[in-house]
Amino acid sequence: MAKPKTKTQIIAGMAEAAGISKVQAKAALDALVDMAYKGAKDGFTIPGVGKLLKQRRKARMGRNPATGESIKIPAKTVVKFRVAKAAKDAIL
């Protein structure tokens, strides 16, 4: 299995594909990441890739695997990423 690309490799690839400098590509990537962080609470979509969502989980009962004891898991907010159908079709 190949190693995942580093941020530097992604920036270099973006710069080459778009015909811009690496500094401009880094600024574009940073702007996209900032927009995703700020927009996640309402749902942030990257067309063709997927959607970033903030979701509330209810409190529930769980089990400690070491002791078998029942424990209460409190409610919490989590971040989810839903992969777009176009991305699934292209990858699979």
CB atoms within 10 A of CB 13: 12
Do 58 and 35 reside in the same domain of the chain? no
Do 52 and 81 reside in the same domain of the chain? yes
Surface-to-core class of residue 24, CB atoms within 10 Å of its CB (0-12 exposed, 13-18 middle, 19+ buried):
middle
pLDDT at site 1: 73
45 - beta bridge partners?
Answer: 51
pLDDT at site 73: 95
CB 35 within 8 A of CB 45: no
Domain count, the chain: 2
Integer angstrom CA distances of residue 39 from 15, 59, 77, 80, 87: 25, 25, 15, 13, 21
- Under the banding of pLDDT at 50, 70 and 90, the label for residue 57 is very high
What's the domain range around 88?
Answer: 40-92
Do 9 and 53 reside in the same domain of the chain? no
